[in-house]
Amino acid sequence: MTTLQNFIGAGQLQVLLQLSKGEEGKHFEQVLTMISATIASMPKTYETDGQGYSAIAYLHYFTSSGDWWITERDSSDEQLQAFGYAYINGFDNAEFGYISIKDLIEHGAELDLYNGLGERKTINDVIKSETMA
């Protein structure tokens, strides 16, 4: 649970926990378990160094004006930052860099519950699919 609290906003996590007690509880329990497993198995800081657009996007956060794809997480137990690819208001402003998950959550970004739970996409794949949408 602590791991999830570092990666999912309190409101979104509360809703997921409530849903896991409802009719479709098993489905939401599986989603939470898969997200936890994804976070636990993600590359740590610098492990994707040099991969560039071939790096796998393990997590995806979004708001109405931006998207952040996380390719690696901090190696500390308490999540301080991550690394990934971000764009705000279109791909003209996109770039790789360090991303504070805490700041994303505090500013209303939500974790995409289904990104990465199936077939993994590279940043290249993400760009292709987003620009074709």
Q: How many domains does the chain have?
A: 1
Torsion of CA 121, 103, 16, 3, to 10 degrees: 80
Q: What was the pLDDT predicted at 114?
A: 80
Torsion of CA 38, 104, 110, 56, to 10 degrees: -40
Q: What was the pLDDT predicted at 28?
A: 86
Q: What was the pLDDT predicted at 116?
A: 59
Q: What was the pLDDT predicted at 132?
A: 66
Residues 6+ apart with CB under 8 A from 28: 16, 19, 20, 22
**Cα gap 130→118, rounded to integer Å:** 17
Which pLDDT tens digits describe the chain residue by residue (133 residues)?
557 888 999 999 999 889 988 888 888 888 888 888 898 899 998 999 999 999 999 999 999 989 999 999 987 766 678 999 998 877 677 899 999 999 999 999 999 988 756 678 999 998 888 776 5
Write the burial class of residue 76 (CB in 10 Å: 0-12 exposed, 13-18 middle, 19+ buried). Answer: exposed
Q: What was the pLDDT predicted at 133?
A: 59
Q: Whole-prediction pTM value?
A: 0.89
- Give which of 61, 55, 66, 123 is closest to 93, Cα–Cα: 66
Range of the domain at 110: 2-132
Q: What was the pLDDT predicted at 117?
A: 65
Q: What was the pLDDT predicted at 76?
A: 77
Q: What was the pLDDT predicted at 2?
A: 56
